[in-house]
Amino acid sequence: MSFFTDLSHQYIDGEWRVGRGSWDVIDFNPYNGEKLAAVTAATGVEVDEAYQAAARAQPGWAAAGPHARRDVLERARSALVGLREETAEAMIAELGATRAKAYYEIDLAAEFLRHAAGVAVMPDGELLPALTPGKENRVYREPAGVVTVISPFNYPLLVTLKSVAPALALGNAVLVKPNQNTPIVGGGLVARIFELAGLPAGVLNVLVTDIAEIGDDLIEHPVPKVISFSGSDRIGRHVAAVAARALKRTVLQLSGNGAFVALGDLTGAALDQAVDAAVFSRYVYQGQVCMAANRILVDRALEPAFSARFTERVAALRTGDPADPATQLGPVIDSFHAEALTALVDEALAEGATPLLHGRTVGNLVEPTILTGLSPHSPLLRQEIFGPVALLVPFDGDEEGLRLTNDTPYGLSSAVHTGDAERGVAFARRVEAGMIHVNGTTMEDDPMAAFGGVKRSGIGRLNGAASVDAFTTQRWISVQHGPATYEL
């Protein structure tokens, strides 16, 4: 199978189709500029066709029962595992991912499919005690209906499946709109693995298109009941506003400005471990991750040792062709991002920041940069930096470290390193973020643990029981056994 030939279509009601749009979404290799695929854009007509197909198919899929749904999820996982090598090659070409990053994403996506298979056969109701004698309160969990999933370019397969897999497991139908930079791995591949798994036609649909073509049709259409969006907070606020007008439920996984905090009691191997975790937290996939640590906050007592080791480790990172096994940082996703990152660094330097390391930009390859000495009022400290630029900031004591950690409008993921785990937990409990990791990285994800942010980083949670809440609705049915008394 050739991913970039066979999967470069719309997928509606179980059929691979050419879109009706008058233009093509062009899929480029971000490293060498090679044209990988052209997908004729879907129009509002295809949006309606896909939603109508989903609405027709969803009741039958829900009625198929939990064990049938579990079996499809298990076969989808097997299909993905069987395509592991081809998928990795596609990620290297389409995302500019290194092979290590590609394998990580594929293997974690497979774990999410495994977990979703279990979700399919979880209890779907409960009995609650009633105030009235002889009354029985039953609360049933039922599918929300049709779910829309709008996914990003950075982890297109994983992030898409984090919503698609549990939504399908719970009896919903789904429409996926992948990011235009990753229409194959984030869209066509998802359709193919479920096609191979025997998912009934119409239960999953994939549309490759753009807001310039369809406007807000994906959100405003009357069929979908839940919108799961992952991307920037700017677009997320628009999604939330449009959905709110129709009282649609939203799950929003948005931008981050995470802090990696090194407390003053780190010594020896623990300090080395913290440096390694900080390098990973900032520079994995070229820093193009909402959970990445934009800010590296270091207790002033540790700053000289930490800065020296951190700078040495980062300077040794190799930037280049992601297909080369020796490469650790590939290209950023496109020239717009490369130019924006270069401008951010230049602006910070002009304002007086000190470069501990100043990487070059060559095409879409952006070498790593480390800046320190920023003004406390620098806007760079309070915004998401979607690229390989680290801001190293010293602090005096845990209280100032906590204040700096929370001095941001975002609150997605942070990490704190310390020689005393309980000290770290006490610090973490006061961090304004949805996810805080003690002696780990900011890049943690687990199918069982609630994933999401606070403040501008989003609304709602995914993973585990949180996904059940996101993609089901509760129905209360009471049953009166025996006579009851009603007094007016």
pLDDT value of residue 2? 85
Confidence of residue 124 (pLDDT cuts 50, 70, 90): confident
CB count, 10 Å around CB of 314?
23
Mean predicted confidence (pLDDT) in 103-114? 98
- pLDDT tens digits for 412-428? 999 999 999 999 999 99
Residues with Cβ within 8 Å of residue 461, at least 6 apart in sequence: 251, 434, 450, 451, 452, 467, 469, 470
Mean predicted confidence (pLDDT) in 145-174? 98
Closest CA to 126 of 116, 114, 140, 115: 140
pLDDT value of residue 209? 97
Measured CA to CA in angstroms, residue 417 lies from 63, 299, 314, 337, 422 at distances of 49, 11, 19, 31, 11
- pLDDT tens digits for 439-465? 999 999 999 999 999 999 999 999 999
DSSP character string of 230-252: ES-HHHHHHHHHHHHHTT-EEEE
Q: What is the mean pLDDT of the chain?
A: 97
Mean predicted confidence (pLDDT) in 224-234? 97
Confidence of residue 34 (pLDDT cuts 50, 70, 90): very high
Confidence of residue 1 (pLDDT cuts 50, 70, 90): low
- pLDDT tens digits for 61-81? 999 999 999 999 999 999 999
- Length of the chain as a residue count: 488
435, 416 in Cβ contact below 8 A?
A: no
Confidence of residue 485 (pLDDT cuts 50, 70, 90): confident
pLDDT value of residue 472? 98
214: exposed, middle or buried (C-beta count within 10 Å: 0-12, 13-18, 19+)? Answer: buried
> pTM higher than 0.85 for the full model?
yes
Mean predicted confidence (pLDDT) in 342-354? 95
Percent of the chain exceeding pLDDT 90 equals 98
Whether residue 351 is predicted with pLDDT greater than 90 in this model: the reply is yes
What stretches of 358-452 adopt beta strand conformation (E)?
A: 361-362, 365-366, 369-372, 389-395, 410-411, 413-417, 435-438
Mean predicted confidence (pLDDT) in 213-238? 97
- pLDDT tens digits for 252-278? 999 999 999 999 999 999 999 999 999
Strand, coil or helix: 437: strand
